[in-house]
Chains A and B, each alone.
Chain A
Amino acid sequence: MTEAKIRIKNLYKIFGKNPSKVLPLVKEGMSKTELLEKYNHVLGIQDVSLDIPEKQIQVVMGLSGSGKSTLIRHINRLIEPTGGEILIDGEDVLAMDEKQLRQMRRTKTAMVFQKFGLLPHRKVKENVAYGLEIQGVDEGKCAERAQHWIERVGLGGYEEHYPGQLSGGMQQRVGLARALATDPEVLLMDEAFSALDPLIRFDMQSILLELQKELNKTIVFITHDLDEALRLGDNIAILRDGAMIQQGDAQEIVLRPADSYIADFTKDINRGKVIRLRSLATPNAAFKGETLNGDTKLEDALAILAHAQDQTVGVARRDGSLAGTVNLTQAISALHS
């Protein structure tokens, strides 16, 4: 596992008049409801720790009110935490003064918003150049790099339009281009595709995955949509009521849900598309038959399994060595557990 790019340690956020006074109570285990009833404070984030690895997509998932948008705003300190630590590249974000913080926001992080957050009085090209302009990059270079990213997100020809003249999907492409134009190491995406209709959302996910293949940014992606989480996330963390209830890759979430809440969540998804053979392999060093790549999706493996000798195939690790075997019965039961 790569070194954590972003470390969140024991983060707490309490909203109310005097959050630091009630923080010890929460640490001693007071519940969200009790806190609200007795002290009129709202518990936003409760003891969340998360290591976000470099150059991967970390999805944070939860329903509305679970604190996921609050969490992502702590990473670039748009929201001040009540307690805990946030480190980016080992640097303490909370210790930064205003100037250092601005510098970090200008160069290291960039953000894409659910409601786009575009500047309505600026044309597409000026919106995309916004981050660069804030940095003080000279005009010619701004325009050149803005143009590059406008083309990359497929908005060539719309440079002179105002955001209000574009559809939601196109506006979010502007948002994405604006975030990428500053060449940040960390991309924070707050429900970036949630406001878009399903087909456009799928397109945008494809664009993001395609860009990520080449750019290798550290991406924190917030969503309430499990399909989106499973499609995009190298790692997924699930929040409920401000607390972290499970983290792991898609396989773990689907095959070993931490509690009934998550099990409910994952009930309706197409498991054949999420589960990969490597998660099902049982060690069998003696196996000599047909071998499939461990990243093969279950739905693709079924047909092969059905015709394989003894209805069993070997599963190869990424380095080519044998991880074990899977038989058809195991595969089918994995689809329906």
Chain B
Amino acid sequence: MELFEEFPALGRKTLSSTKKAIDETFKGFSREYGQALEDFFDPLLRFLVWFEKLLLATPWPIILVIVGALAWLGSRSWKITVGSVVAFVGIGVLGMWEDTMATLAIISVATFLCILLGIPIGIFMARSDRAQSIITPVLDVMQTIPSFVYLIPVVMLLGIGKVPGLLAVCIYAIPPIVRLTNLGIRLVDKDVLEAADAFGASPKQKLLGVQVPLALPNIFAGINQTIMMALSMVVIASMIGVKGLGVPVLRAISNQYLALGLMNGLAIVALAIIFDRVSQSYGKRLQAYRKGLGND
């Protein structure tokens, strides 16, 4: 009877020694290779630091002009452009300029990294069913595993700082761009591809001339999602030493500062909305040809 009342787990001793063994192995690994890994990521760290310093050193009016210009180029909408500039002014007035610049720096670098890695992986997935069947579950794990769990090995390997924070953000934020690149390429009309084949297009000509351009709206939706997910990691990343808007939020949680938490939280929301609206309307403009009679 006892067998049915309690699950026959491994003995406590066996379990704890297994866990210990895993921990020890990993610690050994990180002692062995930690330095090498740090060196490997050093260029990334330098780039991130340089970019953050650049944003902070740039006089605020110039940043405002750049924000407005980017918003206009992306969306071609006065509403979104003015809204973006006003939001940044608000952030500055409320004393969150420096934290916002730090957050902007890490989000930009993380998004850039995700695009750099994610689009080629997505293309690779679209070209091979086997690759898709292997990568899909990995992406599922990356999206569902609690971020604190993979923070542990990252911190053990690289310690506390910007790079582990950046990696944590990337692990969480890269799946959408991979998935949507894959999806977008797979959804390209078979008839169009057949036509490209019939005219003797090489695989490269098909990829760059037909598949990627036609998948672009989906790829863009992926980039948009990636940015949103990167922003939602800001607070968690600040737990392992990433500067930015997450730090005051953390402080607000531990000290029950309602106003501080709210202000910084809303600043993150403002950034998210700006990124989202600008990138979405840019994505829409990319597929203007899908509409019937256009403006030309």
Task: Give me the interface of A with B, judged by CB distance under 8 Å.
Answer: 76, 78, 101-107, 109-111, 113, 115-121, 130-131, 133-135, 160-162, 164-165, 178, 182, 188
Contacts and interface: CB of A to CB of B under 8 A. Distances in A.
B292 A118 contact: no
Contacts of A78: 194, 197-198
Counting chain B CB atoms within 10 Å of each CB, which of A107, A130, A133 scores highest? A130
B205 interface: yes
B218 to A, nearest CB: 13
Interface of B: 189, 191-192, 194-202, 205, 209-210, 213-214, 289-294, 296
Contact of B290 (A106, A118, A164): A164
Contacts of A121: 213-214, 289
Contacts of A116: 191
A122 B100 CA distance: 40
Q: Which of B194, B199, B205, B294 has the most A CB atoms < 10 Å from its CB?
A: B199
Nearest to B198: A111
Contact of A104 (B200, B202, B292, B296): B200
B195 to A, nearest CB: 3
A105 B192 contact: no
The majority secondary structure among interface residues of chain A is mixed
Task: Pick the 4 closest A-B CB pairs, nearest first.
Answer: A117-B195, A105-B200, A106-B200, A111-B198
Contacts of B293: 165
Contacts, number: 76
A71 to B, nearest CB: 15
Nearest to A106: B200
Contacts of A115: 191
A120 B294 CA distance: 13
A220 B109 CA distance: 55
Contacts of A182: 199
Contacts of B202: 102, 134
Contacts of B200: 101-107, 131, 134-135
A105 B198 contact: yes
Given A76-B198, A119-B209, 17 more contacts: A102-B202, A105-B200, A106-B199, A109-B198, A110-B199, A113-B191, A113-B195, A113-B198, A117-B192, A120-B192, A121-B214, A160-B296, A162-B289, A162-B294, A164-B292, A165-B292, A178-B199
10 contacts: A78-B194, A78-B197, A119-B195, A119-B209, A121-B213, A130-B196, A134-B199, A134-B200, A182-B199, A188-B198
A258 to B, nearest CB: 32
Given A105-B200, A106-B200, A165-B294, A120 B195 contact: no
Nearest to A101: B200
A169 to B, nearest CB: 16
Contacts of B189: 120
